[in-house]
């Protein structure tokens, strides 16, 4: 009768035991990781559902558009902030536009809200209409319809809402939306100075992005000055 090989049995048993404990450890680690550190997709899904919930709750409140009043550049920036906050309450994160970008363009296009189109048509962005039946203003000194007019809005905040909607839906700003989405997917802060480079179709001015950038830097200085004054 052949002698039973106990050493081989013990070696095999120990090998399978080690494999069992390694698999068990991996399972436990996976469970703990999944429980206490959910994957990014799960986190993003939860955040999206929360955004939808809060947006629906805010819409149900029927909040009123904030008053848009100003007499100087600082007040113009603050009025813009209030308006953008009001609009953002009803927009998902992937449709929001950076504050600096909106305010920078508005300041440039409307001369800090002092232009004729801003005062008489509530148009802060020089947005045009090619429909004669749409409420509009004609350029100074032009009496006959030249094929376009500067669109009139019910309020200045209404023009901000229209501008955001334009960037979110018009084919001309597809590259802007793609870059914004890449930034969001990478959990990056929306960089206004990079995003304005995708607005070359907003204006025929060759250095348009550089002009908006200068406005953004000016706005940062204004806000820094205002903050310093508040600390005195």
CATH architecture assigned to 66-231: Orthogonal Bundle (1.10)
Picking from 86, 106, 77, the residue whose alpha carbon sits closest to that of residue 225 is 77
Q: What CA–CA distance (Å, rounded) separates 83 from 113?
A: 14
Tokens 């504050």 found at: 99
Instruction: Residue 213: name the closest of 232, 189, 195, 190 by CA.
Output: 195
- The mean pLDDT values, 10 residues at a time, for the chain of 232 residues are 48 58 64 57 56 54 81 95 93 94 97 97 97 94 92 98 97 97 95 95 93 96 82 66
Question: What pLDDT is recorded for position 64?
Answer: 82
Q: Are strands 149-151 and 136-137 parallel, antiparallel or unpaired?
A: antiparallel
Residue 125's SS3 state is coil
pLDDT at 90 (0 to 100) = 87
Residue matched to tokens 């179709």: 201
| Signed CA dihedral, 112, 117, 123, 126: sign only | negative
What is the pTM (predicted TM-score) of this model? Answer: 0.74
At 6 the pLDDT is: 46
Buried/exposed 35-51: b ≥16 CB within 10 Å, e otherwise: eeeeeeeeeeeeeeeee
Q: What pLDDT is attached to residue 1?
A: 47
Q: Can you say whether residue 111 is alpha, beta or left, with left for phi > 0 and alpha for psi between -120 and 50 degrees? A: left
Partners of 137 in the beta sheet?
A: 150
The three-state (H, E, C) secondary structure of 39-88, written as one string: CHHHHHHHHHHHHHHHHHHHHHHCCCCCCCCCCCHHHHHHHHHHHHHHHH
């Amino acid at each position: 009768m052949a002698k039973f090989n106990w050493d081989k049995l013990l070696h095999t048993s120990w090998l399978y035991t080690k494999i069992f404990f390694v698999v068990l450890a991996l399972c436990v680690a996976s469970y703990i990781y999944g429980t206490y550190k959910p994957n990014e997709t799960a986190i993003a899904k939860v955040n999206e559902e929360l955004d939808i919930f809060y947006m629906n709750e805010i819409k149900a409140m029927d909040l009123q558009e904030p008053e848009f009043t100003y007499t100087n550049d600082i007040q113009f920036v603050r009025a813009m902030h209030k308006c953008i906050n009001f609009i953002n309450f009803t927009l998902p994160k992937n449709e929001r536009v950076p504050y600096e970008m909106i305010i920078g363009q508005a300041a440039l296009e409307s001369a800090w809200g002092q232009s004729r189109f801003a005062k008489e048509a509530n148009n802060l962005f020089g947005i045009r209409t090619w429909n004669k039946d749409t409420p509009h203003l004609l350029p100074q000194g032009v009496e006959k319809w030249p094929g376009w007019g500067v669109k009139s809005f019910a309020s200045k905040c209404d023009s901000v809402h229209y501008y955001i909607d334009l960037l979110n839906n018009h084919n001309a700003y597809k590259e802007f939306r793609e870059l914004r989405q890449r930034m969001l997917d990478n959990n990056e802060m929306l960089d206004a100075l990079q995003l304005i480079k995708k607005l070359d179709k907003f204006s025929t001015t060759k250095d348009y992005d550089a002009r908006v950038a200068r406005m953004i830097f000016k706005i940062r200085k204004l806000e820094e000055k205002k903050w310093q004054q508040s600390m005195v």
